[in-house]
Amino acid sequence: MDKKIDDITSKFLDKFIELEKFISGIVLWNKEAKEYLSKLGDYYDETRHEGFVSKLWTIKKWNYNISRIIKNWKWFDRLTKYSHIRNKLLHDYKWFISISESACNELESDLNVLRNPKKIWEVRKCDVFTCNNEDKLEYVLKEMKDNLYTHIPVLNNEGNIKWVLSESTILYFMLNNIDKDRCLVMEPIKIWDIDLVNSNDEYKIISKDVSIYDIDYMFLESINLWIRLGVIIITNNWNTNWNIEWVITAWDIPMIKKHYKN
């Protein structure tokens, strides 16, 4: 039958080819990948379709750069559905069915997210309250109370991150320093009086270019390792001597998830 596929359906098939090449390139990142990708044409058979779904499972089960996204079942199901649609188009109902423009746009949008997942700096950037060794604890506590802060980065004289002052750190200090009359005079206490190294309250420093899909996983991974991750500090480039862009606690995850493409 001499019939031309309509433009939208043709675009959908082209975008799926891009998607398959992208997924294959992640899983098969070596010479084998280049050979495989070079053989991919505009039309391909069931075995290649099976290979696509298999590669999705591989990415879902392991830690590739887009695994955090594909671990989401909505994403996994949708990407698998694209492959089923493509297969039906080319093998079962060729020339008889067409793709809607919205479906084509959805595939294109998903491909863009996989290629360029939104970074944490695109979600929020704000002033961060910090303190140093010479600050009075009373002053810092007031800031924490007024702004509902739970973790405060402590900077050294060079402005680099030394550690993090947390609610639990302050609690331990107070319990260890209340006198026999159950009194604790706050006025003379400074940050340097507190033992900031608290094994029950860890922190991470990450780059502002980390994907938003990685943040939730970092907290979950810490739970699985029996580590209490209290805060994630966002800097320009992973280092303690870069400006702090944002401080993320578990309380910020719902706000971050609003920016997910589900």
Average pLDDT over the chain reads: 84
Highest mean pLDDT among 90-104, 160-174, 179-193: 160-174
42 or 141, higher pLDDT: 141
Q: 76 - beta bridge partners?
A: none
Give yes or no for a contact between 19 and 82, defined as CB atoms under 8 angstroms apart: yes
For residues 85 and 31, the model is more confident at 85
Residue 257, C-beta contacts closer than 8 angstroms, at least 6 positions apart: 216
| Domain spans, the chain | 7-117, 122-257
Check pLDDT > 60 for residue 91: yes
The pLDDT assigned to 159 comes to 84
What is the reported pTM?
0.77
The pLDDT value given to residue 1: 41
CATH number for the domain formed by residue range(s) 122-257: 3.10.580.10
pLDDT of 44 reads 44
Beta strands at 202-207 and 161-166: parallel, antiparallel or unpaired: unpaired
Phi-psi region of 201 (alpha: psi -120 to 50; beta: other; left: phi over 0): beta
**Per-residue pLDDT tens for 50-62?**
588 999 999 999 8
3-state DSSP percent of the chain in helix, strand and coil, to 5: 50, 15, 35
**What's the confidence (pLDDT) of residue 45?**
44
Which residues face 166 on adjacent strands? 151
pLDDT (average), residues 186-202: 81
Please enumerate in sequence order all residues whose Cβ is within 8 A of that of 214, keeping only pairs 6 or more positions apart, or say none: 68, 206
